[in-house]
Structure 1
Amino acid sequence: MTGLQIGIFAGILGAGVGVSSIVGYFRWRRWKQQIQVWQDFATTRGWSFMPTPGRFMYSAGTLKMEGSYAGRPLTLETEYRHQEKAYRIATIIRHELGDDFPREVVIRPEGLGDKFLKLFGVQDEQIGDAGLDAVLDLKNVTPQARAILLSAGMRRPLLNLALAFENFSIENGVLSAEVINEVPCTSVELYGLLTPVRELADAVQGTRGHTQWRSEGTGQEGTQS
């Protein structure tokens, strides 16, 4: 390799490192902004918040917020996953729905595989509502559970949940939902991400109580009555 070739190679390598450093720095700054937003969101609700720094300088870390809604534990956190030769960040919500939701029922979104099997007559459990049966994969639906899922207040929150999250599950009374490569950067985005979860939690409460979450613009927090 000639001196000229070495110089060109070094220049290209240096440019690549420089670009990577700049991209990493801006990601780090974005993460620092997210820390402040998540911290403020948690503080106003009396929740705990814990950021975990990245392994390297100027590398983004992960975030974790813990609290309660409708008297039940709620966790919102991010984690990195290695998928298809690349790292992706997932934002995950977990919320205990409590004893008012039938614990034997397992609910997941209807996938392409499920829709394909239906073409050959292989059906998952049905509850008799065309809209819900089209978007939900249901298991262990007892008559009592069916009555709860078909109640007037449950239908819309379940549909909204399926629309908001491509990946979610309700199992043993715990809702888990996630989005990939989407980390809320504003309080409005945080509130919007949690909206389908709080709507379902309110629906599960049913006649036992009503929980209100006011919009960010009112400056008022949820109350129970």
Structure 2
Amino acid sequence: MSLALLPLVVLVLLVPFLAVSAYALWKIKKASRAAWAEFAHNHGMLATGFRIEGSYEDYPLVIETARRGHSKHRYTVTVLSLSVPDALPPEFSLALESLGDKVLHFLGKKDERIGDADFDKFFEMENLSPALSAVLRHMAVQEHLYEMVNQYQTFHIRDGWIHAERRHVPSTAEELEEFVGPALMLAHTLEETSRRTQRWAAR
């Protein structure tokens, strides 16, 4: 075979491969969109492509995809935002303590604490109230917060919302249920513990 024909042969072989790959990706994306629509329908929520919004077990919930990173290192994550207004005051925030936080504390920044040494070292908190500190000292609440660290790539609490994300796009309704699960359990536990703490304080 003439070397002059080699590029043409490569092109003839490559085009069908690219076409099949593109079709396979389209089928996967279409199936994933259908799964997101199924999940939304099962819970009386609204799905628009890869965005779901509505009420999930009486908690306002938004699930959507987002892009992270830069240039060649960009990737897709699934982001969850779950509102727990009855248990989380809007001024409160919680996140994993970062290296920057540790440096600021070393330089003298005041660190808000609940009085549990291990927990206080792990999380950075702002605008703690005595009532919320009592809630966060409960073992069940702490277990679910540590579970959030294990189950999601990142998570934080701000403005009365639990925010979490994972570097994966669920492709079935079951995967979406599993994705929401840890955040939902944390919301339930925060709300129930908050109610119990208020009842004990009122006695």
State the TM-score, normalizing by the size of structure 2.
Answer: 0.78
| Residue among 166, 175, 186 paired with 2:162 | 175
Shift, 1:130, TM fit: 4.3
Paired with 2:3 and 2:96, the residues of 1 have a C-alpha distance of: 55
Q: Which residue of 1 aligns with 2:44?
A: 46
Residue deviations 1:179-224, cap 9 Å, x none?
12x1112222111111111111101221688xxxxxxxxxxxxxxx
Q: Secondary structure at the match of 2:39?
A: helix
Cα RMSD (Å): 3.0
Q: Which residue of 2 aligns with 1:205?
A: 191
**Structure 1 residues 107 and 23 mapped into 2: Cα distance closer, same or farther (>3 Å)?**
farther
Q: Which residue of 1 aligns with 2:61?
A: 74
Q: Secondary structure at the match of 1:77?
A: strand
Q: Which residue of 2 aligns with 1:28?
A: 26
**Structure 1 gap ranges (5+):** 52-62, 210-225
Paired with 2:118 and 2:94, the residues of 1 have a C-alpha distance of: 14
Paired with 2:48 and 2:133, the residues of 1 have a C-alpha distance of: 39
Amino acid at match of 1:33: A
Higher helix share: 2
Q: Which residue of 2 aligns with 1:55?
A: none
Q: Which residue of 1 aligns with 2:198?
A: none
**Structure 1 residues 5 and 166 mapped into 2: Cα distance closer, same or farther (>3 Å)?**
same
Kindly indicate whether residue 192 of structure 2 is the aligned counterpart of residue 194 of structure 1. Answer: no
State the TM-score, normalizing by the size of structure 1.
Answer: 0.72
**Structure 1 residues 206 and 5 mapped into 2: Cα distance closer, same or farther (>3 Å)?**
same
Amino acid at match of 1:109: L
**Structure 2 gap ranges (5+):** 196-203
Q: Which residue of 2 aligns with 1:101?
A: 88
Paired with 1:137 and 1:114, the residues of 2 have a C-alpha distance of: 11
Q: Which residue of 2 aligns with 1:145?
A: 132
Shift, 1:76, TM fit: 0.9
Paired with 1:19 and 1:37, the residues of 2 have a C-alpha distance of: 27
Paired with 1:79 and 1:96, the residues of 2 have a C-alpha distance of: 19
Higher strand share: 1
Q: Report if aligned partners of 1:132, 1:159 keep a CA contact under 8 Å in 2.
A: no
Identity %: 26
Q: Secondary structure at the match of 2:75?
A: strand
**Structure 1 residues 134 and 69 mapped into 2: Cα distance closer, same or farther (>3 Å)?**
farther
